[in-house]
């Protein structure tokens, strides 16, 4: 197992249980005590957990806290990849799509990188770079300007202004948090405004969000769930959340991470 995969497992275990012991991680991952401690030190330094004697604790998340792109990319990676593959099946050659900033939407970009004659509008620096490097015939990437955030999104008046004159067939949208009352949220006020502009540019809005996003609430709401045409998530979503989403969004699609099946 790679170090990045190992740290992703540690973060998931801490998130699920609230705390974890070094000894438990040694048994679970089959590596040395020293390796686990180094992993915890690394994750603690990135602000993803709190290091304590003999283990680690989950960090109490604040509504304004905005983790970096690289930190978020380590979390729920298999779920994000399965969600992205399912959503990518809806992208047709010759269409125009929008891709918002985020780590799940980055996986979506990876999944559509070989679709020919595709026009992609994005405010994500990593997404634009990935698609530029793919050099797929006929593919055009439009990167909005703006101020770069910790999550590698370009936001602000320049981004909003450029989006007002653009129109895409469908938008693939990520979210920091999803809640049945708060809707889709982000800890960044300016990013919320830019996401609203992305939504306004699209005929159809598809949200890509793994189950861990449910119940998390950022500082600013940028969309109500009733505004979402399709919501793609993974099988870890609770029954209560499934019921709420069925009632609110246009269509809910559950992707099974191990099999790739949809429901």
pLDDT for 18 beyond 80: no
pLDDT of residue 67: 61
- Identify the weakest region by mean pLDDT among 18-22, 84-88, 133-137, 181-185: 18-22
With a cut of 60, say whether residue 218 has pLDDT above it: yes
141 SS3 class? strand
Name, in order, each residue with C-beta under 8 angstroms of 16's C-beta and a sequence gap of 6 or more: none
What pLDDT score does 77 carry? 87
3-state secondary structure 53-114: CCEEEECCCCCCCCCCHHHHHCCCHHHHHHHHHHHHCCCCCCCEEEECCCHHHHHHHHHHCC
- SS3 state of residue 190: helix
Average pLDDT on 119-127 reads 97
- DSSP, collapsed to helix, strand or coil, labels residue 240 as helix
pLDDT of residue 166: 97
How large is the average pLDDT for residues 70-77?
72
Beta-sheet strands, E only, within the chain: 19-21, 49-52, 55-58, 96-99, 119-122, 140-143, 147-148, 154-155, 170-173, 177-179, 183-186, 205-208, 220-223, 230-234, 252-255
Interval 7-19 mean pLDDT: 82
Q: Where are the domains of the chain?
A: 3-60, 70-255
Q: Is the pLDDT of residue 61 over 60?
A: no
173 in Cβ contact with 199 (< 8 Å): yes
C-alpha–C-alpha distance, residues 61 and 70, integer Å: 18
pLDDT digit string (tens) for 222-246?
999 999 999 999 999 999 999 999 9
70-255 placed in CATH 3.40.50.1360: yes
The pLDDT score that the predictor gives to residue 75 is 72
Q: Which fold has domain 3-60?
A: Arc Repressor Mutant, subunit A (1.10.10)
Beta carbons of 87 and 263 less than 8 angstroms apart: no
64 pLDDT above the threshold of 60: no
Looking at every residue in the chain, the average pLDDT score rounds to 91
Least confident segment among 53-57, 92-96, 115-119: 53-57
Between 74 and 42, the more confident residue is: 42
β-pairing, 96-99 vs 55-58, is unpaired
CA distance 173 to 102: 8
Interatomic CA distance for residues 251 and 263, integer angstroms: 11
**Contact, 69 vs 219, CB < 8 A?**
no
Contact 14, 40 (CB under 8 A): no
Per the model's pLDDT, the better-predicted residue between 65 and 94 turns out to be 94
Residue 119 pLDDT > 90, yes or no? yes
**What pLDDT score was predicted for residue 263?**
73
d(CA 111, CA 215): 27
Q: Does the pLDDT value for residue 134 go beyond 80?
A: yes
Q: Are 205 and 224 in contact (CB under 8 A)?
A: no
| pLDDT band at residue 47 under the 50/70/90 scheme | confident
Side-chain-side CA neighbours of residue 183 (13 Å): 12
């Amino acid at each position: 197992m790679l170090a990045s995969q190992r740290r992703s497992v540690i973060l998931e275990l801490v998130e699920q249980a609230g705390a974890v012991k070094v000894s438990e991680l040694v048994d679970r991952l089959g590596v040395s005590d020293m390796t686990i401690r180094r992993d915890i030190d690394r994750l603690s330094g990135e602000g993803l957990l709190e290091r304590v004697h003999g283990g680690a604790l989950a960090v109490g998340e604040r509504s304004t806290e905005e983790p970096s792109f690289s930190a978020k990319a380590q979390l729920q990676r298999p779920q994000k990849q399965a969600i992205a593959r399912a959503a990518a099946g809806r992208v047709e050659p010759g269409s125009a799509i929008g891709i918002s900033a985020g780590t799940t939407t980055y996986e979506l970009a990876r999944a559509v990188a070989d679709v020919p004659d595709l026009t992609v509008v994005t405010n994500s620096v990593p997404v634009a770079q990935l698609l530029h490097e793919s050099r797929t015939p006929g593919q055009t990437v439009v990167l909005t300007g703006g101020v770069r955030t910790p999550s590698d999104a370009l936001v602000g008046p320049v981004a909003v202004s450029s989006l007002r004159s653009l129109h895409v067939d469908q938008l693939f949208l990520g979210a920091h948090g999803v809640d049945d009352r708060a809707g889709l949220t982000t800890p960044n006020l300016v990013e919320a405004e830019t996401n609203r502009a992305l939504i306004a540019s699209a005929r159809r809005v598809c949200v890509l969000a793994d189950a861990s996003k449910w119940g998390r609430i950022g500082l600013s709401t940028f969309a109500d769930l009733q505004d979402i045409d399709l919501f793609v998530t993974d099988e870890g979503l609770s029954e209560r959340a499934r019921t709420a989403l069925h009632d609110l969004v246009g269509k809910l699609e559950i992707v099974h991470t191990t099999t790739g099946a949809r429901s």
